[in-house]
């Protein structure tokens, strides 16, 4: 057996020697982490498309085809969120946040929910506002524990108004929230939407920032993460 060993090493060396240029070529084609691109978007660290570029599965980005070309997405609790790019703050990224529609003709109080529980992600109250499109409702945002974190009253208005609504500060960082929509007047319009959006992506105007209306389906929002997050935070009931 012993006398096969040198031969084996020679083959191994030859193999590595032949493979090396191929590996090098493959490596030089991969963009550096933090410089990967998907469509027009550069994926900021610690997010990444290639498995060597994200440190946690939370930061995995997939590049998916859409009607408007390929776009990057992260998946948070089963929901695909489009990545819009780097946020100008540490531990934050700009995402395209879907609005919650509330459409109910028969009851006075309706609600919608968003959930980032069990993930390191949260919406920072420093970087985002709560907003709502609609007419004549009190829009309230509540924490997971049903504590009110802010609210605003939409102007009373007619069907023909597409840019009616309100926005306000939120009083705490959010991982999970519920929105309550309460009609303030008998003629309040039941259709409404609610959303968390980036303070700095729109020009503030009363009563709703310029560019948001009843046709808005997504709004840019700053998504932060807790860099010392260590797992699911399993709760024990005693
Ligand atoms: C990339 O940017 C160009 C110019 O701004 C735009 O026309 C094009 O639609 C963008 N493509 C994607 C996939 O977003
Ligand atoms: C909310 O998150 C920000 C990070 O954007 C942090 O600086 C701030 O201390 C947090 N606020 C609370 C009340 O935890
Ligand atoms: C938005 O409002 C305008 C004006 O009232 C209306 O014509 C349009 O159908 C509304 N769009 C949606 C998506 O509800
Ligand atoms: C929000 O709505 C729920 C049920 O729709 C209701 O139980 C709760 O009292 C409402 N909270 C506020 C602050 O309006
Ligand atoms: C970040 O996560 C750690 C560990 O899970 C936790 O102790 C800490 O309170 C979290 N910080 C914030 C600001 O949520």
Beta strand spans in the chain (E):
37-38, 41-42, 62-66, 69-76, 79-86, 92-98, 100-103, 109-115, 121-123, 128-134, 137-143, 148-153, 165-169, 176-183, 191-198, 218-225
Give me the domains of the chain, ranges plus CATH numbers. 19-83 (no CATH), 87-225 (2.60.120)
Given a cut of 50, is residue 151 above it in pLDDT?
Answer: yes
Given a cut of 50, is residue 238 above it in pLDDT?
Answer: no
Ligand 3 proximity of 214 Cβ (cutoff 6 Å): yes
Model confidence pLDDT, tens digit, residues 112-140:
567 888 899 999 999 999 999 998 899 99
Given a cut of 50, is residue 106 above it in pLDDT?
Answer: no
Q: Which whole number is the average pLDDT over 163-170?
A: 93
**Residue 161, C-beta contacts closer than 8 angstroms, at least 6 positions apart:** 135
Given a cut of 60, is residue 84 above it in pLDDT?
Answer: yes
Q: Enter the DSSP assignment of 64.
A: E
Ligand 2 proximity of 224 Cβ (cutoff 6 Å): yes
- pLDDT score of 115: 80
Q: Which whole number is the average pLDDT over 1-25?
A: 54
What residues form DSSP beta bridges with 70?
65
| Ligand 1 atom at shortest distance from the alpha carbon of 41 | 14
Ligand 2 proximity of 172 Cβ (cutoff 6 Å): yes
Ligand 2 proximity of 126 Cβ (cutoff 6 Å): yes
Least confident of 23-37, 46-60, 99-113, 116-130: 99-113
Q: Which whole number is the average pLDDT over 60-79?
A: 94
Phi, psi of 23, deg, nearest 5: -60, -45
- Sign of the four-CA dihedral 45, 50, 52, 56: positive
Residue ranges in the chain assigned as alpha helix (H): 5-29
* Distance of alpha carbon 201 from alpha carbon 209, whole angstroms: 9
- pLDDT score of 189: 67
- pLDDT score of 236: 41
Pick 16 or 46 by higher pLDDT.
Answer: 46
Given a cut of 60, is residue 97 above it in pLDDT?
Answer: yes
Q: Tell the residue nearest (CA) to atom 2 of ligand 2.
A: 124
| Ligand 3 atom at shortest distance from the alpha carbon of 161 | 5
- Pocket probe for ligand 3: among 190, 215, 218, the residue whose CB has the most ligand atoms within 8 Å is 215
User: In the predicted model, what is the mean pLDDT of the chain?
Assistant: 82
Pick 112 or 235 by higher pLDDT.
Answer: 112
Ligand 5 proximity of 229 Cβ (cutoff 6 Å): yes
Ligand 3 proximity of 101 Cβ (cutoff 6 Å): no
DSSP 133-153: EESSEEEEEEETTS-EEEEEE
What pTM was estimated for this model as a whole?
0.81
Given a cut of 70, is residue 42 above it in pLDDT?
Answer: yes
- pLDDT score of 233: 47
């Amino acid at each position: 057996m012993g006398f096969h060993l040198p031969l084996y090493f020679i083959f191994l060396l030859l193999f590595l020697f032949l493979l090396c240029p191929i590996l090098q070529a493959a490596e030089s084609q991969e963009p550096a982490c933090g410089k990967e691109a998907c469509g027009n978007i550069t994926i900021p660290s610690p997010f990444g498309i290639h498995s060597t570029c994200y440190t946690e599965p939370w930061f995995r980005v997939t590049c998916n085809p859409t009607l408007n070309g390929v776009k990057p997405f992260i998946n948070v609790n089963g929901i695909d969120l489009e990545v819009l790019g780097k946020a100008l703050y540490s531990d934050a990224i700009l995402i395209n946040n879907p609005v919650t529609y509330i459409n109910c003709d028969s009851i006075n109080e309706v609600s919608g929910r968003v959930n980032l529980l069990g993930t390191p992600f949260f919406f920072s109250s420093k970087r985002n506002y709560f907003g709502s499109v609609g007419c004549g409702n009190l829009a309230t945002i509540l924490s997971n524990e049903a504590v009110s974190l802010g609210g605003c009253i939409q102007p009373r208005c007619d069907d023909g108004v597409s840019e009616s609504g309100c926005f306000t500060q939120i009083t705490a960082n959010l991982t999970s929230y519920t929105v309550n929509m309460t009609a303030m007047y008998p003629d309040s319009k039941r259709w409404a939407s609610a959303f968390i959006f980036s303070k700095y992506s729109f020009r503030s105007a009363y009563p709703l920032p310029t560019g948001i209306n009843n046709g808005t389906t997504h709004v840019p929002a700053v998504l932060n993460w807790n860099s010392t997050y260590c797992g699911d935070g399993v709760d024990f009931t005693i």
